[in-house]
Structure 1
């Protein structure tokens, strides 16, 4: 691991992973959909839209000159691009075949049910007589909640790009794991919050760590072990689940650096990206993550635009080597003058508190403040 100095990070939003890389002692370079101001202040970044810029992916990656690379959110839905980048440099994360398998809800369900673990029912066609109750229509080719909608029986025709998943009542969480050599260790659980204008299942933020019962933690640990063993997962990965009747019902696997990694790093003072690289390069799993050096919970809320916004000039928080785990009040800050349409993300607000309720109240207040300011 010592020979890695620079890491190329590719994804829809790479700012959090870039800051993790800096904390780990690496120099990040980024291909990112937004190229926000706080990211550009700390790392070279080139705008990259996987849908529009895919033809130039290798050229863009070569221009940033990193021998090692990793990906963040949205790229798990593009195993074709991960496969192409795997020919450019050393991949720190899961490969395209792993992505294709673990993103298949039928394969995930088979693994979990085979181990006696909870998994929601699936259907390919809601015209089946057994498909009673409420269902979600979920895309295999989109990520981050963008491809999830309420199913409409009788109107949603079956196709190869979508599946129907049983809707379960209960709060939404994300379990964070690290895996190597067919094994996984649970880092912790984060409470997730969903919903934006016209996108009820879009990721809206989270709070971590979030305490669960010993029984739930134990079952969550079994889920991570089962998935890592069956699919050969490596490095950091997340498992989104619904807590229903005290059990974690897995609704999706995110086989990459997730949004909750930043929250756990800021709360615990541990550089999880260093453990990720060690798992990917050396195949070693950290046996004990050790106690947190401090106790607060950390929260993040994505603020979505309610109307067209022209982002104003604001003071962008500066990351400091003297305080690498300080929680900034805002992040993912757009460049001055950026045009933001309704339903698009404006920025993220963050908060630290002793309790989850206090943290949530701070996030609510900060979100209201920005929406009132920007209209």
Structure 2
């Protein structure tokens, strides 16, 4: 009779120890138990053989002979695995059935959705939920054939987001898709962004930075554009109208032509980068923009932006924005084009 206990049923995910594998192989070939010979040929210590045999019997890979018969019989591993895997296979089949029913139901809904888009405006679509935006971007990336261009405002992106982006972008680059991205200059100070750009650049991606960017934008194959929704960073607006997408693509090309190749701030020289940033803030201040607007355009936090502005006003000896404007004009810090000729003497020295 086969001796087996209820607590030793083999399940998918169980693994055999090295000594159990060695004992099974030896018994499968010899059909008898000889701990001394087995230890000599397999390297399994004689004291470990008994425990290995007991477990192999319990899980069904070995079968003992009838009472009085000391022989051990190896059981076909395919039969054992088939029995152990049957519950998992049934569960997978049930899940596949549920998935097909789910997909079929939503496919029918998609028919109504597409008919509604055809009867209305198919050129503009609003996606309110972040998870749906990511799914739409992943689908567009999978279908992209030639190029993807991106404007990514903000100085920092989380490592998790960058890891997802690297997986998606590396797959596109491997297919021969051209990728170009413009970041804020402040991204040069962000280590995860630096690492992402270094890795993706080695795969063929191209990356530049600019001081001012308006909003986030992604364009696939000059046919499909994603933009952030007004006052909603989590949602997106999808644009398919050819003239609008063409305009957005031309806007990107203009940004790209004026942007600088991505390099970390330390490579460029932290002092030089800081001076360049303060010159830009000075010009935006002279235009009368609010702190929030300046922070958004530069991809900086409001707190950091206000710290820069306070330092510049102190260097100018000004206690108000009006006094700062007078000091800028008196010192000739702006040329006729509205660009700074020179920074305030102490703040940008």
Report the structure, 1 or 2, having the larger helix content. 2
TM superposition score normalised by structure 2 = 0.21
Q: Which has the higher strand share?
A: 1
Higher Rg: 2
